[in-house]
Chain A
Amino acid sequence: GAGVSQSPSNKVTEKGKDVELRCDPISGHTALYWYRQSLGQGLEFLIYFQGNSAPDKSGLPSDRFSAERTGGSVSTLTIQRTQQEDSAVYLCASSLLRGSEQYFGPGTRLTVT
Protein backbone atom coordinates (compact mmCIF):
# COMPACT_ATOMS: atom_id res chain seq x y z
CA GLY A 1 0.00 0.00 0.00
CA ALA A 2 0.97 3.64 -0.32
CA GLY A 3 3.12 5.22 2.34
CA VAL A 4 2.92 8.69 3.80
CA SER A 5 3.10 11.33 1.10
CA GLN A 6 3.89 15.03 1.42
CA SER A 7 3.63 17.93 -0.95
CA PRO A 8 5.30 19.94 -2.20
CA SER A 9 8.68 18.25 -2.07
CA ASN A 10 10.43 21.61 -2.07
CA LYS A 11 9.09 25.09 -1.48
CA VAL A 12 10.91 28.39 -1.84
CA THR A 13 9.09 31.43 -0.56
CA GLU A 14 9.81 35.03 0.23
CA LYS A 15 9.97 36.26 3.78
CA GLY A 16 6.57 37.39 4.96
CA LYS A 17 4.55 35.11 2.70
CA ASP A 18 2.27 32.35 3.96
CA VAL A 19 2.88 28.70 3.04
CA GLU A 20 0.84 25.51 3.28
CA LEU A 21 2.40 22.08 3.54
CA ARG A 22 0.32 18.97 2.96
CA CYS A 23 0.52 15.48 4.43
CA ASP A 24 -1.41 12.40 3.30
CA PRO A 25 -1.05 9.72 5.98
CA ILE A 26 -1.34 6.00 5.47
CA SER A 27 -4.98 5.06 5.12
CA GLY A 28 -6.46 3.96 8.43
CA HIS A 29 -3.75 5.47 10.59
CA THR A 30 -5.33 7.34 13.47
CA ALA A 31 -2.30 9.30 14.67
CA LEU A 32 -0.48 11.98 12.72
CA TYR A 33 2.62 13.97 13.70
CA TRP A 34 4.42 16.96 12.28
CA TYR A 35 8.14 17.40 12.96
CA ARG A 36 10.65 20.02 11.90
CA GLN A 37 14.23 19.15 11.03
CA SER A 38 16.70 22.01 10.83
CA LEU A 39 20.07 21.58 9.13
CA GLY A 40 22.32 19.31 11.18
CA GLN A 41 19.69 18.82 13.87
CA GLY A 42 17.44 16.06 15.04
CA LEU A 43 13.72 16.32 14.68
CA GLU A 44 11.66 18.74 16.69
CA PHE A 45 8.06 17.84 17.51
CA LEU A 46 5.49 20.35 16.34
CA ILE A 47 1.96 18.95 16.63
CA TYR A 48 0.08 15.67 17.11
CA PHE A 49 -3.37 14.59 15.98
CA GLN A 50 -5.12 11.52 17.36
CA GLY A 51 -8.45 10.55 15.88
CA ASN A 52 -11.09 13.16 16.58
CA SER A 53 -9.44 14.43 19.73
CA ALA A 54 -8.17 17.98 20.06
CA PRO A 55 -4.62 18.18 18.70
CA ASP A 56 -1.60 18.53 20.94
CA LYS A 57 -0.06 21.81 19.78
CA SER A 58 2.57 22.01 22.48
CA GLY A 59 5.49 21.92 20.03
CA LEU A 60 4.42 24.76 17.76
CA PRO A 61 7.14 27.44 18.02
CA SER A 62 4.89 30.46 17.57
CA ASP A 63 1.34 31.49 16.75
CA ARG A 64 2.39 31.84 13.11
CA PHE A 65 2.24 28.06 12.92
CA SER A 66 -1.05 26.18 12.73
CA ALA A 67 -2.24 22.83 11.48
CA GLU A 68 -5.47 21.08 10.80
CA ARG A 69 -6.50 17.57 9.92
CA THR A 70 -9.64 17.18 7.90
CA GLY A 71 -11.81 14.09 8.20
CA GLY A 72 -9.18 12.35 10.25
CA SER A 73 -6.97 11.98 7.20
CA VAL A 74 -5.14 14.71 5.26
CA SER A 75 -3.32 17.33 7.31
CA THR A 76 -2.14 20.80 6.38
CA LEU A 77 0.57 22.72 8.23
CA THR A 78 0.34 26.46 7.67
CA ILE A 79 3.08 28.94 8.40
CA GLN A 80 2.03 32.58 8.24
CA ARG A 81 4.39 35.50 7.63
CA THR A 82 7.33 33.19 7.09
CA GLN A 83 10.72 34.09 8.53
CA GLN A 84 14.15 32.90 7.48
CA GLU A 85 14.46 30.82 10.63
CA ASP A 86 11.48 28.79 9.43
CA SER A 87 13.71 27.28 6.73
CA ALA A 88 13.88 23.57 7.45
CA VAL A 89 12.60 20.18 6.35
CA TYR A 90 9.09 19.54 7.63
CA LEU A 91 8.36 15.86 8.15
CA CYS A 92 5.01 14.22 8.66
CA ALA A 93 4.52 10.80 10.24
CA SER A 94 1.50 8.62 10.88
CA SER A 95 0.92 5.60 13.05
CA LEU A 96 -1.86 3.06 13.24
CA LEU A 97 -2.48 3.62 16.91
CA ARG A 98 -1.09 5.82 19.64
CA GLY A 99 2.38 4.62 20.50
CA SER A 100 2.80 2.28 17.53
CA GLU A 101 5.50 2.65 14.92
CA GLN A 102 5.59 5.99 13.16
CA TYR A 103 5.92 5.94 9.38
CA PHE A 104 7.43 9.03 7.85
CA GLY A 105 6.85 10.89 4.64
CA PRO A 106 9.71 12.22 2.50
CA GLY A 107 9.33 15.70 3.91
CA THR A 108 8.98 19.18 2.47
CA ARG A 109 12.10 21.29 2.29
CA LEU A 110 11.09 24.89 2.97
CA THR A 111 13.46 27.69 2.07
CA VAL A 112 12.56 31.23 3.08
CA THR A 113 14.54 33.87 1.18
Chain B
Amino acid sequence: AQTVTQSQPEMSVQEAETVTLSCTYDTSENNYYLFWYKQPPSRQMILVIRQEAYKQQNATENRFSVNFQKAAKSFSLKISDSQLGDTAMYFCAFMKPMDSNYQLIWGAGTKLIIKP
Protein backbone atom coordinates (compact mmCIF):
# COMPACT_ATOMS: atom_id res chain seq x y z
CA ALA B 1 0.00 0.00 0.00
CA GLN B 2 1.10 3.51 -0.72
CA THR B 3 1.88 5.88 2.14
CA VAL B 4 2.71 9.58 2.22
CA THR B 5 4.70 11.16 5.04
CA GLN B 6 5.05 14.82 5.89
CA SER B 7 7.53 15.09 8.74
CA GLN B 8 7.01 18.76 9.55
CA PRO B 9 3.76 19.36 11.47
CA GLU B 10 4.30 23.12 11.51
CA MET B 11 6.66 25.68 10.01
CA SER B 12 6.94 29.41 10.39
CA VAL B 13 8.90 31.90 8.27
CA GLN B 14 9.07 35.63 7.71
CA GLU B 15 7.33 37.19 4.76
CA ALA B 16 9.50 37.24 1.60
CA GLU B 17 11.64 34.31 2.78
CA THR B 18 11.88 31.00 0.98
CA VAL B 19 10.51 27.90 2.67
CA THR B 20 10.69 24.23 1.76
CA LEU B 21 8.12 21.67 2.86
CA SER B 22 9.14 18.04 2.80
CA CYS B 23 7.21 15.00 1.64
CA THR B 24 8.26 11.40 1.22
CA TYR B 25 6.20 8.53 -0.07
CA ASP B 26 6.39 4.81 -0.38
CA THR B 27 5.29 2.91 -3.45
CA SER B 28 6.37 0.05 -5.67
CA GLU B 29 4.76 1.67 -8.68
CA ASN B 30 6.75 3.28 -11.46
CA ASN B 31 4.03 5.47 -12.91
CA TYR B 32 2.11 7.83 -10.62
CA TYR B 33 1.23 11.44 -9.91
CA LEU B 34 2.17 13.62 -6.98
CA PHE B 35 0.39 16.73 -5.82
CA TRP B 36 0.69 19.57 -3.36
CA TYR B 37 -2.58 21.03 -2.14
CA LYS B 38 -3.10 24.13 -0.03
CA GLN B 39 -5.93 24.42 2.50
CA PRO B 40 -6.38 27.90 3.97
CA PRO B 41 -8.64 28.52 6.98
CA SER B 42 -11.60 28.70 4.58
CA ARG B 43 -11.19 24.88 4.24
CA GLN B 44 -11.13 25.13 0.45
CA MET B 45 -8.58 22.61 -0.83
CA ILE B 46 -6.65 24.19 -3.69
CA LEU B 47 -4.25 22.45 -6.04
CA VAL B 48 -0.84 24.13 -5.93
CA ILE B 49 1.27 21.95 -8.18
CA ARG B 50 1.26 18.54 -9.86
CA GLN B 51 4.11 16.26 -10.94
CA GLU B 52 3.99 13.22 -13.20
CA ALA B 53 6.52 10.61 -12.11
CA TYR B 54 7.63 9.89 -15.67
CA LYS B 55 8.73 13.49 -16.12
CA GLN B 56 12.25 14.22 -14.96
CA GLN B 57 11.76 17.97 -15.05
CA ASN B 58 10.56 19.47 -11.80
CA ALA B 59 7.19 21.19 -12.01
CA THR B 60 6.95 24.92 -11.33
CA GLU B 61 4.03 27.30 -10.89
CA ASN B 62 5.12 30.89 -10.38
CA ARG B 63 6.58 31.08 -6.85
CA PHE B 64 5.99 27.38 -6.23
CA SER B 65 8.36 24.67 -7.37
CA VAL B 66 9.07 21.09 -6.45
CA ASN B 67 12.19 19.03 -6.01
CA PHE B 68 11.17 15.59 -7.20
CA GLN B 69 13.67 12.85 -6.40
CA LYS B 70 12.12 9.65 -7.74
CA ALA B 71 14.79 7.27 -6.51
CA ALA B 72 14.64 8.72 -3.04
CA LYS B 73 10.83 8.93 -3.19
CA SER B 74 10.95 12.53 -2.13
CA PHE B 75 8.73 15.38 -3.30
CA SER B 76 9.44 18.67 -1.54
CA LEU B 77 7.68 21.97 -2.20
CA LYS B 78 9.60 25.23 -2.32
CA ILE B 79 7.77 28.52 -1.90
CA SER B 80 9.84 31.52 -2.92
CA ASP B 81 9.17 35.10 -1.82
CA SER B 82 6.56 33.88 0.64
CA GLN B 83 3.46 36.01 1.14
CA LEU B 84 1.00 36.35 4.00
CA GLY B 85 -1.61 34.69 1.83
CA ASP B 86 0.51 31.55 1.71
CA THR B 87 -0.43 30.85 5.32
CA ALA B 88 -2.31 27.56 5.20
CA MET B 89 -2.12 23.82 5.68
CA TYR B 90 -0.18 22.15 2.90
CA PHE B 91 -0.86 18.56 1.96
CA CYS B 92 1.19 16.25 -0.19
CA ALA B 93 -0.81 13.61 -2.06
CA PHE B 94 -0.13 10.58 -4.26
CA MET B 95 -2.25 9.13 -7.03
CA LYS B 96 -1.73 5.85 -8.82
CA PRO B 97 -3.13 6.16 -12.32
CA MET B 98 -4.92 3.19 -13.78
CA ASP B 99 -5.97 2.33 -10.27
CA SER B 100 -9.60 1.42 -9.98
CA ASN B 101 -10.66 4.65 -8.37
CA TYR B 102 -7.83 7.18 -8.77
CA GLN B 103 -8.09 8.05 -5.12
CA LEU B 104 -5.58 10.43 -3.60
CA ILE B 105 -3.44 9.16 -0.74
CA TRP B 106 -2.69 12.03 1.60
CA GLY B 107 0.00 13.06 4.04
CA ALA B 108 -0.98 14.47 7.43
CA GLY B 109 -0.16 18.01 6.35
CA THR B 110 2.19 20.82 7.32
CA LYS B 111 0.85 24.00 8.87
CA LEU B 112 2.71 26.92 7.33
CA ILE B 113 2.62 30.32 8.99
CA ILE B 114 3.98 33.36 7.19
CA LYS B 115 4.82 36.12 9.63
CA PRO B 116 4.72 39.81 8.66
Contact = CB atoms under 8 A, between A and B. Distances in A.
Contacts of B102: 31, 48, 95, 98-99
Contacts, number: 61
Contacts of B105: 45
Interface residues of A, number: 28
Interface in B71-101: 91, 93, 95, 97-98, 100-101
Interface residues of B, number: 25
A45 B96 CA distance: 14
A42 B103 contact: no
Interface of A: 31, 33, 35, 40-45, 48, 50, 56, 58-59, 89, 91, 93, 95, 98-99, 101-107, 109
Given A40-B108, A99-B97, A48 B45 contact: no
Give the interface SS of chain A, mostly helix, strand, loop or mixed.
strand
Contact of B45 (A44, A91, A95, A98): A91
Contact of A107 (B43, B46, B108, B109): B43
A33 B108 contact: no
B101 A48 contact: yes
Contacts of A102: 47, 104
